[in-house]
Amino acid sequence: MRLLIVMGLLASLAFAPVARAEDGHDLWLRYRPVEAGAGYGVAALAPVAPTPTLTLARAELARGLTGLTGAPPTADAGARDGVILIGTPQSSPAIARLVLPLKAAGDEGYLIRTVKIDGKSATVIAANRDIGVLYGVYRYLALIQTRRPVDSLDLVSAPKVRLRMLNHWDNLDRTVERGYAGQSIWDWWKLPGYSADPRYVDYARANASIGINGTVLNNVNAKALSLTAPYIAKAAALADVFRPYGIKVYLSARFSAPIEIGGLKTADPRDPAVAAFWKAKADEIYTAIPDFGGFLVKANSEGQPGPQDYGASHADGANMLADALGPHGGVVIWRAFVYSHEQPDDRAKQGYSEFKPFDGQFRDNVVIQVKNGAIDFQPREPFHPLFGAMPKSNLGMEFQITKEYLGFATHLVYLGPLYEETLKSDTYAHGQGSTVARVIDGSLDGRKLTAMAGVANIGADRNWSGSQFDQANWYVFGRLAWDPEASSRDIAADWARMTFSNDQRFVTPVVDMMMASRETAVDYMTPLGLHHQMGRSHHYGPGPWVSGGERADWTSVYYAKAGPDGLGFDRTATGSNAVAQYAPPAAACFADLKCVDEKELLWFHHLPWDYRLKSGQTLWDGLVTHYSRGVAGVGEMQKTWAGLTPYVDAERHAQVADFLTIQHREAQWWRDASVAWFQSFAKRPLPAGEAAPPESLHYYESLSFPYAPGI
């Protein structure tokens, strides 16, 4: 056979080697090589004392430097530039000399300092305890990852918050309530027999790299089963993996467990048999998990059992558990997210009303965990009135990292500005400057047991968080838990550099895009202080028409209060007077139309459709303008991202681009459905240039989403 003719057609094209696509699994710990000539030389690592944490800290340093510099560090002792010494005063005589500067590092912080040895430059990463060394190693690597110079360092960093925690709303069947990143990463079925899944280690690495030191494994809507021996063994297997990374395991505890698994007839916290059950259960857990963190409890909230079922108080319940855990060093984290079926008052007021009276009555090892706002993780909420209002209690922050009300995984919304906005809010509890951040870090009232929790957005999806950019929300949460006064913009820049590229032509537009993304989402979802306008139950997409059903405060109409007369929830003295729960200067501003931020306008005020906004537009016109601005904002993000192909690998770029397309379509849907709905009350024409919704209101109302994730 003669194939000559065909052969003659052969082109000279060569096949490029197949590049390993990036799927986002490496998070911000990619450790890709720095640009040639960036000036980061090959390092040498001094040996460390063989403790579990120091061993893995050194291994992580080696792994990171190998990736970043393209060559493994040596362990050679010869006097040369670039030796890195890590350890604690206990592990190393040289570091023992640093006791004084190490004071500022505290229990978990670190010191990184460039020193000279025989005229050679060396770096010390030191801490008082092993875990601080690991944190310092991640910081040192991050300096290179973000292209900071590392040849003349002298920095100390210590966390301002003691408990920096993830709350997993993960169920025992591996579904995740409000999870949009696939199944739970906890494969309970295969635990404890198979705990060697590398994913568990990578989870611990990622968390340690941003200073997270606690994880609540199971959903706050808890099953008592998670407190039985087989599940304690499963949790213990995970605790063993996480321990060297400084991460303690906690469990959500179902308050009625004494009945369900203890054979008792009651869970009354004042019943000695109940207290004995919990004491024995705590002993059992600590036998399996000596450094168990403690219990997170959702009690008397949304149908969960609690002390009020027996006429006892939150303090009775929390303190009883605290007494069981206290001897082991454990804590009780008691959620303040409560509102009652029987209580007809504004839901925004109920958490404060139920908890404020008990200030000072909780044990020292109890933390009251308060959501950032008084409703439920909306795109925007004013800070929760409990912040600053319980000076004699340990108040912890609960942020939501997963985007329950923010479009799930396919909407790009960087939550840093949301967190920062809350943390920088001034409670005026002790006058100006009494920020929420200072409540959380304990400095305002001298609290020692401080806490910040984030409801995790982590799942078994390859990229962990359901999207590339949702990784930034996990990252910024950890960074702000370490330092609640940090800048969300700076953190976004660090994340973007570590996750994608240090090229300034990438970093600047991406950080701008991220910083604007939250306001964009607020605009297309719930502008001007509107809240809770999402579809029923799944919280996906617009549902301003949601009404009726089990309870009024699970409906949209309850919150928007749209009518022919206008729009918004009057929380001033003429309404629910929720403003009175704030310190007087804050309350006065919220109540005052001249002072209140228009971003929170309809949260606090019911206003006529023709109310004049600062822009000069009427409320109606301005509302429509905000919705459309939100849609346009997503269009801007699409444009920005399309221009960034040179800086991002094809796989991640395509995924983000596709998700932005989905987001744009859905932003338009939000705008159209909301405009159609509110126009049915406002009965006014659209502002000039605004297109009418392409479908009827009936159409938008008819849409259903039977398999929406995360329920």
Strand, coil or helix: 680: helix
Q: Which of 103, 341, 430, 462 binds a copy of itself (CB under 8 A)?
A: 462
Show contacts with a copy of itself in window 176-235 (CB under 8 A): 182-183, 188-190, 193-194, 196-199, 225
Q: Which of 173, 364, 503, 565 binds a copy of itself (CB under 8 A)?
A: 173
Half-sphere exposure of 305 (CA within 13 A, CB side): 17
Nearer to a copy of itself, 384 or 403 (CB): 403
Nearer to a copy of itself, 43 or 338 (CB): 43
Q: Quote the least distance from Cβ 467 to a copy of itself, whole Å.
A: 10
Determine the Cα–Cα distance for residues 336 and 398; give it in Å rounded to an integer. 10
Show contacts with a copy of itself in window 355-374 (CB under 8 A): none
Q: Quote the least distance from Cβ 405 to a copy of itself, whole Å.
A: 17
Q: Which of 115, 143, 264, 516 binds a copy of itself (CB under 8 A)?
A: 115
Residue range at the interface with a copy of itself (CB under 8 A); choices 324-332, 370-378, 404-412, 484-492 = 404-412
Determine the Cα–Cα distance for residues 389 and 372; give it in Å rounded to an integer. 14
Asked about 302 being catalytic, the answer comes back as: yes
Show contacts with a copy of itself in window 689-708 (CB under 8 A): 706-708
- Per the structure block, which two tokens stand in for 479? 């960074």
Q: Is 261 in the site for a copy of itself (CB under 8 A)?
A: no
The size of the interface with a copy of itself (CB under 8 A), counted in residues, is 82
- Cβ neighbors of 311 (< 8 A, separation 6 or more) are none
Determine the Cα–Cα distance for residues 373 and 415; give it in Å rounded to an integer. 14
Nearer to a copy of itself, 79 or 573 (CB): 79
Q: How far is CA 363 from CA 230, 268, 394, 452, 597, in A?
A: 30, 18, 9, 18, 38
Place of tokens 């209060």: 561
Strand order in the sheet with 154-157: 44-45, 83-87, 120-126, 110-117, 154-157
Q: Which of 32, 174, 243, 684 binds a copy of itself (CB under 8 A)?
A: 174
**CA distance between the termini of the chain:** 65
Q: Quote the least distance from Cβ 408 to a copy of itself, whole Å.
A: 8
Nearer to a copy of itself, 33 or 327 (CB): 33
Determine the Cα–Cα distance for residues 175 and 277; give it in Å rounded to an integer. 29
Q: Which of 22, 316, 376, 523 is catalytic?
A: 376
Nearer to a copy of itself, 172 or 423 (CB): 172
Asked about 519 being catalytic, the answer comes back as: no
Do the beta carbons of residue 238 and residue 186 sit within 8 Å?
A: yes
Q: Quote the least distance from Cβ 401 to a copy of itself, whole Å.
A: 19
Show contacts with a copy of itself in window 621-660 (CB under 8 A): 651, 654-655, 658-659
Nearer to a copy of itself, 97 or 103 (CB): 97
Spell out where 312-431 has E strands: 331-335, 366-371, 394-400
Show contacts with a copy of itself in window 662-681 (CB under 8 A): 662, 665
Which of 150, 179, 5, 134 has its CA nearest to residue 81? 150
Residue range at the interface with a copy of itself (CB under 8 A); choices 14-22, 344-352, 417-425, 635-643 = 14-22
Asked about 60 being catalytic, the answer comes back as: no
Q: Assign residue 466 a region: left if phi > 0, alpha if psi is -120 to 50, beta otherwise?
A: left
- The radius of gyration of the chain's CA atoms, rounded to the nearest angstrom, is 27
Q: Which of 275, 460, 515, 686 binds a copy of itself (CB under 8 A)?
A: 460
Q: Quote the least distance from Cβ 56 to a copy of itself, whole Å.
A: 13
Determine the Cα–Cα distance for residues 124 and 132; give it in Å rounded to an integer. 13
Do the beta carbons of residue 75 and residue 44 sit within 8 Å?
A: yes
Q: Quote the least distance from Cβ 62 to a copy of itself, whole Å.
A: 4
Show contacts with a copy of itself in window 16-75 (CB under 8 A): 16-18, 20-21, 23, 44-47, 62-63, 66-67, 72-75
Place of tokens 């963190």: 293
Q: Is 341 in the site for a copy of itself (CB under 8 A)?
A: no
Show contacts with a copy of itself in window 501-540 (CB under 8 A): none
For 116-134, b/e burial (b = at least 16 CB within 10 A) is eeeeebbbbbbbbbbbbbb
Determine the Cα–Cα distance for residues 550 and 128; give it in Å rounded to an integer. 54
Nearer to a copy of itself, 113 or 489 (CB): 113
Show contacts with a copy of itself in window 584-603 (CB under 8 A): none
Nearer to a copy of itself, 145 or 655 (CB): 655
Pattern 408-447, a copy of itself, x by CB under 8 A: xxx-------------------------------------
Pattern 69-108, a copy of itself, x by CB under 8 A: ---xxxxxxxx---x-x------xxx--xx----------
Q: Is 688 in the site for a copy of itself (CB under 8 A)?
A: no
- Cβ neighbors of 474 (< 8 A, separation 6 or more) are 206, 210, 401, 454, 456, 457, 458, 464, 465
Q: Which of 11, 36, 100, 688 binds a copy of itself (CB under 8 A)?
A: 11
Q: Which of 284, 302, 323, 636 is catalytic?
A: 302
3-state SS of 219-258?
CCCCCHHHHCHHHHHHHHHHHHHHHHHCCEEEEECCCCHH
Q: Which of 26, 316, 404, 461 is catalytic?
A: 404
Residue range at the interface with a copy of itself (CB under 8 A); choices 102-110, 331-339, 455-463, 668-676 = 455-463
Q: Quote the least distance from Cβ 285 to a copy of itself, whole Å.
A: 20
Four-residue CA torsion sign, 613, 617, 620, 626: negative
Residues annotated catalytic, as ranges = 302, 376, 404
